Structure 1
Amino acid sequence: MYPKLTKHIEEILLQKISDERKAMLQPLIDFIKQKKRNQESASVNFICTHNSRRSHLAQIWAQTASAYFKIPDIHCYSGGTETTALFPKVVETLMEAGFHIWKLNNSENPVYAVKYSENALPLIAFSKKYDNIFNPSTGFAAIMTCSQADGDCPFILGAEKRIPVTFEDPKISNATPEQTRIYRERSLQIGAEMFYVFSQINH
């Protein structure tokens, strides 16, 4: 992993996670463990309304955590109930954490390549609906990262398991002096919880 990101991960691993949050994360841990027992790959699709903030943070941190803990055959995706664009502050926050990110085009919904390590395949990040052709169509765990998407989508077609793991939207800080701090805190929380999940897989 990139040195700056490795240093940030040290901070992530020091974060405290409440018993309530651990209980919320347990079904995801169980899903991945079951796939491992069956010697199957595990596909996880993080779903939020706009696929612009929390779902991307969760996807990218989860994929990074699986690599950090050397858990193979983990495929992390993200999607929304509608398409918007990956919010630029999320990209900035992840770059500040140590990810290397390139913008691949300049459309209204830009596509980014995200790397956590020199030799890792890049994650491709852009806003899309959860059932986009880019995402898995069957056998995946649908992780609902916002309460609105959780309420709007009681049924996710093709999902083997549907698990609510909701986070507060950092969007509340937009256009305020607190924006950088709030986005960093949310990224840190999501990163810590995804690292906790993957730390439990081989236990």
Structure 2
Amino acid sequence: MNLYPTLQAHIEKAQALPISEERGAIIQVLIDYIQKKFDQDQDINLNYICTHNSRRSQFSQIWGKVAAAYHGIDMNSFSGGVEVTAFNERAVESIKRFGFKVSKEGEGNPKYFVLYSDDEDPIVAFSKVYDDAANTPTGFAAIMTCSHADENCPFIPGAEARIPVRYKDPKAFDDTDQEAEKYDERSLQIASEMLFVFSKIKK
């Protein structure tokens, strides 16, 4: 797999970030889930969920897929929310800065086609509810990426596991001079943790 050069550089930067003991304990649950599915030769389906499916869950879907591909693991990456909004344009600009190639189709709640390599199919990213037809209906782990969705969705139909991996919302910095920095900071953290997760899967 030939990653785009700017993206490859950001992946190397993400891999160099330390994982704290606290965060390590949180994502170990995800590692264990993936390892079990891998060992049993079952499909690995991860649905990253936050309230609006606009920022953190989109970053997670994208970086989860890239991290799995980077480490040679077949994984189906999805995302969803409890409300439909749109893939936030600030988050889209952040992934562009990281070296992804992005094309857009439609308005309002457009579909974005996110490429990380010319050798791979694009990741299709748009805001949707977690049980949208684009997502697998059963046999998946619900990865809860925000506290609001985690606390207000006590039951996710079809999920065989529910794993909280919460991230702070970069939305708090919208329209400030720190906006781009904070979106990139969150994206890099998610990249770092997803790369760490898939690096720990024993083949």
Alignment TM-score > 0.5, same fold: yes
User: What secondary structure, in the 3-state scheme, does the structure 2 residue paired with 1:102 have?
Assistant: strand
Identity %: 49
1:202: Cα distance to partner? 1.6
Counterparts of 1:111 and 1:101, CA distance in 2 = 10
> Could you tell me which residue of structure 2 aligns to residue 10 of structure 1?
12
> Could you tell me which residue of structure 2 aligns to residue 36 of structure 1?
38
> Could you tell me which residue of structure 2 aligns to residue 104 of structure 1?
105
Using the size of structure 1 for normalisation, the TM-score is 0.97
| 1:131 aligns to 2:124 (yes or no) | no
- Within a 5 Å distance, the mapping from 1:1-203 to structure 2 comes to 1-72=3-74, 74-105=75-106, 107-202=107-202
User: What secondary structure, in the 3-state scheme, does the structure 2 residue paired with 1:45 have?
Assistant: strand
1:179: Cα distance to partner? 0.2
1:119: Cα distance to partner? 1.0
1:76 partner amino acid? S
Counterparts of 2:123 and 2:182, CA distance in 1 = 24
Deviations 1:2-59 (A, max 9, x none): 1110011110011111011011001111111111111111000000000000000001
User: What secondary structure, in the 3-state scheme, does the structure 2 residue paired with 1:15 have?
Assistant: coil
Counterparts of 1:108 and 1:28, CA distance in 2 = 33
Counterparts of 2:160 and 2:84, CA distance in 1 = 23
2:116 partner amino acid? Y
Counterparts of 1:84 and 1:150, CA distance in 2 = 18
User: What secondary structure, in the 3-state scheme, does the structure 2 residue paired with 1:149 have?
Assistant: helix
Deviations 1:138-157 (A, max 9, x none): 01000000000001101100
2:146 partner amino acid? C
1:99: Cα distance to partner? 0.5
1:88 partner amino acid? E
Using the size of structure 2 for normalisation, the TM-score is 0.97
The answer for unaligned runs of 5 or more in structure 1 is none
Deviations 1:84-125 (A, max 9, x none): 0000011110011011110022x2101100011111011100
User: What secondary structure, in the 3-state scheme, does the structure 1 residue paired with 2:68 have?
Assistant: helix
User: What secondary structure, in the 3-state scheme, does the structure 1 residue paired with 2:42 have?
Assistant: coil
1:184: Cα distance to partner? 0.6
1:201: Cα distance to partner? 0.6
User: What secondary structure, in the 3-state scheme, does the structure 2 residue paired with 1:8 have?
Assistant: helix
1:78 partner amino acid? S
Counterparts of 1:80 and 1:143, CA distance in 2 = 11
1:173: Cα distance to partner? 0.2
The answer for unaligned runs of 5 or more in structure 2 is none
Counterparts of 1:68 and 1:202, CA distance in 2 = 14
